[in-house]
Amino acid sequence: MILCFDIGGTAIKVAWAYSAEQVIPKGRITTPTDDFDSFVAVLRGVISEADEVPQAVAFSIAGVLDPDSGVAKVANIPCLTGRRLQSELETLLGLPVVLANDADCFALAEATVGAGRGHDVVFGLILGTGVGGGIVVRGQLINSTGGFAGELGHGPIAQRVFDDPAVTLPAFACGCGQVGCLDAICSARGLERLHRHLHGATVDSQAIVAGWDADDVQASKTISVWLMLLSGPLAMTENMLGAGIIAVGGGLSNAPKLIAALDSAVREKCLRQIKHPLVVPAQCPIEPGLVGAAILGLQRCETAAA
C-alpha cells in the first residue's frame, strides 16, 4: 500500500493506493502551514492510523523542488520552504518518500487513468487560481526531480497588442516576481483582472464565462482576448512537445464550451493539422493529486524491487 498525501495550503488530503485504478480517499486534515513540527506530527498520526505499514509515502505539493539541491519552495506553506523536504521527511517518518509538484501529479494522473490514456506525450494544463502544467512522456514525468517543466504560466510571454479587437494591455505583475506572465492574466483571477481592465467592472470568472455563453457583449470581448492570449503559447507548446492530448484541469476546465473554444483556437495555430480534439477537459475520476502521487509511489516501489 502507498500512503498518499495531497498537500494544499488549506487542507491535506489523504488516500491509500494499491494501484493507479485503486486509490481510496481517506479524508482531509487542516494543513499546519507555519509549524514544521506540527506538520510532521499530522503525517505521523495518519501513518499510525493506517491498517498496514505503507511501502512508501507519496506527496503532491503545491510547490517545486530545486532539481539540484532538493530544496522546496512552497509559497502557501511557509514551514516547508527552504527545506530538503524529501530527505528530511524520509528521516523523520522512517519510510521511503516521493514528492512531486501538484501540476506534475495532475498530468501523470491524466496520462495514466484520464484523458491522456493511450498517448505517448501528455501535457497537463491547470487553469485555476493559477496557470500551471506538467509533461508526461511514455508514462514518466519528464522532470522526476523538480517541478519546473511544463510551467507555461510563468515567463514574460503574454501578448500585449491585439488588432481585432483593438486592445493594448499592460504587462501585469505576476506573483512569481516577473511581469507579463500568463498566470497573471489567463488564470481565473487573471481573467477577472483582464475583464476589469477592459471594462472597469469587477466580475468573478464564473460570471464572465456565463456571460460569454449568453452572448453578453463585455464578457464576449473579454473571452475573445483571453482566447488569443492563451491559444498562441499553447500552440507553440504543442509544436515543441507533439502532445497527443492537452488535458485541462482547474476551475476553468468546468466550462466545457470554453475549453472547446480554446481547443479550436489552439488547433488553428498549430504547425500540425490536428483533426481530433486536442485541448480537452480532464477526466481523472478521483482527486488527481492523490492519483498522481500514488503512481509515483508505485513506480518507486517497482524500481526498488527490480
Domain co-membership, 136 together with 196: yes
Report whether pLDDT(176) > 90.
Answer: no
> In 10 A of CB 72, how many CB atoms?
21
Domain co-membership, 10 together with 136: no
pLDDT of residue 66: 84
Q: Evaluate the omega torsion of the peptide bond into residue 67 and state whether it is cis, within 30 degrees of 0.
A: no
Residue 170's contacts (CB-CB under 8 Å, 6 or more residues apart) are 160, 197
Report yes or no on 106 lying in a domain. no
Strand, coil or helix: what is 265? Answer: helix
* For residues 86-104, average pLDDT: 93
What is the pLDDT confidence band of residue 53, given thresholds at 50, 70 and 90?
A: very high
The CA distance from 74 to 79, in Å, is: 8
For the chain, report the end-to-end CA distance as a whole number of angstroms: 17
pLDDT of residue 39: 96
Report yes or no on 35 lying in a domain. yes
Q: Which amino acid is at 271?
A: L
* For residues 267-279, average pLDDT: 95
Question: What are the angstrom distances between the C-alpha of 58 and each of 62, 87, 194, 290?
Answer: 14, 13, 37, 8
Q: Which amino acid is at 164?
A: D
Report whether pLDDT(147) > 70.
Answer: no
What is the pLDDT confidence band of residue 146, given thresholds at 50, 70 and 90?
A: low
Strand, coil or helix: what is 203? Answer: coil
Domain co-membership, 124 together with 270: yes
Q: Which amino acid is at 180?
A: G
Domain co-membership, 72 together with 179: no
Domain co-membership, 290 together with 277: no
Show the domain range for 168: 115-281
Report yes or no on 177 lying in a domain. yes
pLDDT of residue 136: 96
Q: Please say whether the beta carbons of 195 and 188 come within 8 A.
A: no
pLDDT of residue 192: 97
Least confident among 71-85, 92-106, 109-123: 71-85
Report yes or no on 107 lying in a domain. no
Domain co-membership, 155 together with 89: no
Domain co-membership, 137 together with 223: yes
Report yes or no on 174 lying in a domain. yes
Q: Pick the closest to residue 211 from 190, 231, 195 (CA basis).
A: 195
> In 10 A of CB 82, how many CB atoms?
11
pLDDT digits (tens, 9 = 90+) for 231-256: 999 999 999 999 999 999 999 999 99
CA angle in degrees (0–180, nearest 5) for 274-276-280: 110
At 134, which CATH number? Answer: 3.30.420.40
Domain co-membership, 177 together with 294: no
Domain co-membership, 152 together with 250: yes
Q: How many structural domains compose the chain?
A: 2
Q: Classify strands 11-17 and 97-101 as parallel, antiparallel or unpaired.
A: unpaired
Report yes or no on 250 lying in a domain. yes
pTM of the predicted model as reported, rounded to 2 decimal places: 0.91
The CA distance from 227 to 265, in Å, is: 7
What is the pLDDT confidence band of residue 167, given thresholds at 50, 70 and 90?
A: very high
Cell numbers describing residue 143: 522532470
Report yes or no on 110 lying in a domain. no
What is the pLDDT confidence band of residue 164, given thresholds at 50, 70 and 90?
A: confident
Domain co-membership, 141 together with 260: yes
Domain co-membership, 169 together with 253: yes
Q: Pick the closest to residue 298 from 9, 67, 16 (CA basis).
A: 16
* For residues 48-67, average pLDDT: 90
Report whether pLDDT(144) > 80.
Answer: no
Domain co-membership, 78 together with 147: no
Least confident among 33-37, 74-78, 206-210, 236-240: 74-78
Q: Which amino acid is at 56?
A: A
Report yes or no on 73 lying in a domain. yes
CA–chain centroid gap for 11, Å, is: 17
150 or 54, higher pLDDT? 54
